[in-house]
Amino acid sequence: MNKICSFVVYLFLFSCLPLSAQDSLTILFAGDAMMHQTQLDNTRKGDSFDLSGYFSNIEKEVKAADIAVVNFEVPLGGKPYSGYPAFSAPEDFALALQKAGFDFFLLANNHCLDRRTRGLVRTIRMLDSLEIRHTGTFLDRDHRHRTYPMLLRKKDFRIIMLNYTYDTNGLTVDTPRIVNYIDKQVMEADITEAKLFNPDFIIANMHWGLEYEQMPSREQRRLADWLVGQGVDLVIGCHPHVVQPMELRKGEDGVPDRLVVYSLGNFISNMSREHTDGGAMVKVVLRRKGLRRYIASAQYSLVYSSRYVNKWGKEDIRVVPAASWSEKNQNGSFSVDSALIKYVKNTRLLLNGNNKAVDEYVFD
């Protein structure tokens, strides 16, 4: 009995300790990173590509996170480089994202086989050579067994990263290579194995949903609920190329412990269809206090693929903080594209009306 009382007192005292920097972890999630043909044509400089303007306006925010995750939706398939419908991006694109602060790439998406199995293999090996961590596609069963579920260790946190795609545009991967497809039986086994690592949080990154639809499909909602029921703490979605609502869910004790983001939209692309010219970055602060693990905050900030004329006299793209640029336009600091203003207005209208406990934050 005395041992039990002592243990209870210990837990109480431990829970009263102030939070240290090691008890808090910030993860930033960005949406679809794509490189269309116009981007290739307008940034090519001989055998390389000048992407120096792509991320300079958001780099500081990305680097402030402990872990920065991006959906890398183009294979590094080698020459000839190409855009939609069969992408093959140069290594410069991966390097530019890495330089901007992204240190974890998601590869399970419908374009990962655009250069067939050879492109999948080349992408994995190229990212490995650049020391960029990634998951979602694998060289063989042994590679998957050794690296998946992917365990990230940061500031004494143990984070599991899972990644799955609904399809690969009808293409099949050649044996022994592997793509993670959405399959409940496989995912249930992966989640069960993930729990053996005693992680602080399990994150499932899902390539799912219907393109250009601003509201999640019934299947997305059902699958999100199923994943949460299996023990996943954060469900982060991509693929629709438009932003979809987000919800922070509370446990029985009223403490936020589950996050569902249905779609982050486009992080960078040359798409111009309505609602596809921007996306959201979601910043999540995870905390632990004693035996408790919880989501301290989850916020989004809008980003926009802004067109401008670069130093070479060609139309280029730069990812900009959409909300702060919109505000500067309103107060007369400088003028911006009317499409950016429209994007901010429309996306805020969508998220303000449908988000649950995930508010906007603005950075400059």
3-state SS assignment for residue 215: coil
Tell me if the pTM is above 0.85.
yes
What is the rounded average pLDDT of the residues 184-189?
99
What is the rounded average pLDDT of the residues 95-115?
99
Report whether 71 contacts 30 (CB < 8 A). yes
| pLDDT for position 178 | 99
| pLDDT for position 80 | 97
Report whether 29 contacts 104 (CB < 8 A). no
What the block records as the tokens of 226 is 């199923």
3-state SS assignment for residue 192: helix
Span 261-312, pLDDT tens digits: 999 999 999 998 999 999 999 999 999 999 899 999 999 999 999 999 988 8
Res. 4: pLDDT tops 50: no
Q: How far apart are CA 320 and CA 323, in angstroms?
A: 9
Res. 196: pLDDT tops 50: yes
Instruction: State phi, psi for 249 to the nearest 5 degrees.
Output: -105, 145
Report whether 244 contacts 204 (CB < 8 A). no
Residues 6+ positions from 14 with CB-CB distance below 8 Å: 290
| pLDDT for position 291 | 87
| pLDDT for position 21 | 65
| pLDDT for position 332 | 64
∠ CA 208-214-215, nearest 5°, is: 75
| pLDDT for position 11 | 39
3-state SS assignment for residue 290: coil
Res. 14: pLDDT tops 70: no
Bridge pairing between strands 278-289 and 292-309: antiparallel
**DSSP per-residue letters across 9-71:** HHHHHHHTSPP-GGGEEEEEEEEEE---HHHHHHHEETTEE--TTSSTTTHHHHHTSSEEEEE
Q: How far apart are CA 123 and CA 108, in angstroms?
A: 12
pLDDT band at 8 (very low <50, low <70, confident <90, very high): very low
Mean pLDDT, the chain, whole residue set? 93
Span 121-150, pLDDT tens digits: 999 999 999 999 999 999 999 999 999 999
Domains and CATH numbers, the chain: 22-360 (3.60.21.10)
| pLDDT for position 312 | 83
Top pLDDT among 14 and 212 is at 212
Bridge pairing between strands 359-360 and 292-309: parallel
Q: How far apart are CA 232 and CA 284, in angstroms?
A: 15
Res. 23: pLDDT tops 60: yes
